[in-house]
């Protein structure tokens, strides 16, 4: 892997390597990309796809919530840009054995990293009724929570819920049929976010990303869920304006300096992008630049 003065970008949600590929194509020939993903299958696929870029590309398996320790182990001290495209990939969704989708039949797993202790199956069968309701309400923003959770709990008293099909059928039996697809999507999304502790990882990642950036380096986050976007928005605002002095103080005495400058406004996908990629419709992109120390 190249180091020193060449442009260095981290793609912390490597997925199928689409963004990394675009970056490698767009940048000068000495620029390099370090990809990261917690899913070992994604790492293997992207490594094969980007093998032609030689030492301009390298991929590591890990959770971006532990960003600093992963890059420190590689001897990387700072980078010019960090990109996070949050959530789940199309490939993960379509892979039945990962259990992310109600459209494919598979085990109720949903772990992006196979080493995680808790699966969606454990959550659905072993959490209390209240805990399940909180998860589906908070991460799924689903309204028919009570009916759904009641159906899950009465089913699991008889037999353990082990597959995506079983869960989908139970949810469908409990709700208004005209809302079925949206409710199924929300229930599955909420269990995925919970199983992978996605919001915790994002909160841990953001300050580490700022530390890893060079001055004037950029942090770009694409999120698909209102709670994720809220975490990013609040973090950027706080880092861009950390001063805690009372408003009527003539000058700042707290000494807290901005570490980020917010670049532009929230970016939403164009109509054309949504037409081409339906899942892009909920994407929200925010960009910030590290302020010179
Ligand atoms: C939306 S996909 C990224 C797609 C990618 N931009 C591409 O061009 O193919 C999100 C990816 O991030 C990974 N991921 C999600 N949370 C992660 C985390 N906390 N740490 C590392 N990887 C994560 C997922 O496993 C998935 O492969």
Per residue in 56-87, pLDDT (tens digit) is 999 999 999 999 999 999 999 999 999 999 99
Residues with CB under 6 A from ligand 1: 12-13, 15-19, 36-39, 42, 63-65, 85, 87-89, 92, 112, 201
Residue 287 has pLDDT above 90, yes or no: yes
Task: Give 208 Cα–ligand 1 centroid separation in angstroms.
Answer: 17
| pLDDT in the model for residue 5 | 78
Residue having the nearest C-alpha atom to atom 22 of ligand 1: 37
> In terms of DSSP bridges, do strands 57-61 and 32-37 run parallel, antiparallel, or are they unpaired?
parallel
- Torsion from C-alpha of 52, 53, 54, 55, nearest 10 degrees: -170
Beta bridge partners, 286, equal: 221
Which of ligand 1's atoms lies nearest the C-alpha of 42?
Answer: 27
For residue 125, pLDDT over 50 is answered with yes
pLDDT of residue 40: 96
- pLDDT tens, residue by residue, 193-223: 999 999 999 999 999 999 999 999 999 999 9
- Which domains are delineated in the chain? 8-90+200-290 (3.40.50.150), 117-195 (1.10.150.170)
pLDDT of 4 above 80: no
Mean pLDDT computed over 112-131: 97
Q: pTM, whole model, 2 decimals?
A: 0.95
Q: What is the DSSP letter of 238?
A: H
Residue nearest to atom 13 of ligand 1 (CA): 13
Name which residue sits closest to atom 2 of ligand 1, judged by CA. 89
Please tell me whether residue 58 adopts helix, strand or coil conformation.
Answer: strand
292 confidence band (pLDDT: 50, 70, 90): confident
Tokens 């379509």, residue located: 94
Q: Residue 178 CB: number of other CB atoms within 10 A?
A: 8
Ligand 1 mean position, distance from CA 98 (Å): 14
């Amino acid at each position: 892997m190249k180091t020193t003065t060449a442009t260095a970008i981290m793609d912390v949600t490597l997925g199928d390597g689409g963004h990394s590929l675009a970056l490698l194509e767009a940048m000068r020939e000495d620029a390099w990309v370090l990809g990261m993903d917690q899913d070992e299958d994604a790492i293997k696929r992207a490594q094969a796809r980007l093998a032609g870029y030689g030492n301009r590309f390298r991929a590591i398996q890990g959770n971006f919530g532990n960003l600093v320790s992963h890059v420190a182990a590689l001897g990387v001290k700072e980078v010019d840009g960090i990109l996070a495209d949050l959530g789940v990939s199309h490939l993960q969704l379509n892979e039945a054995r990962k259990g992310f989708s109600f459209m494919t039949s598979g085990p109720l797993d949903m772990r992006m990293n196979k080493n995680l202790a808790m699966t969606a199956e454990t959550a659905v069968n072993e959490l209390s009724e209240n805990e399940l309701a909180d998860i589906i309400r908070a991460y799924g923003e689903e309204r028919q929570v009570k009916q759904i959770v009641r159906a899950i709990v009465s089913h699991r008293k008889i037999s353990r819920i082990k597959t995506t099909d079983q869960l989908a059928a139970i949810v469908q039996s409990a709700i208004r049929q005209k809302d079925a697809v949206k409710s199924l999507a929300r229930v599955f999304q909420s269990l995925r976010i919970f199983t992978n502790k996605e919001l915790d990882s994002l909160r841990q990642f953001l300050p580490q990303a700022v530390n890893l950036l060079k001055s004037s380096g950029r942090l770009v986050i694409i999120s698909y869920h209102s709670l994720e976007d809220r975490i990013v928005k609040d973090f950027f605002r706080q880092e861009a304006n950390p001063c805690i002095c009372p408003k009527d103080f003539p000058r700042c005495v707290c000494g807290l300096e901005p570490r980020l400058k917010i670049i532009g406004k929230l970016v939403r996908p164009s109509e054309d992008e949504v037409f081409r990629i339906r899942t892009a419709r909920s994407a929200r992109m925010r960009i910030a630049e590290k302020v010179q120390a």
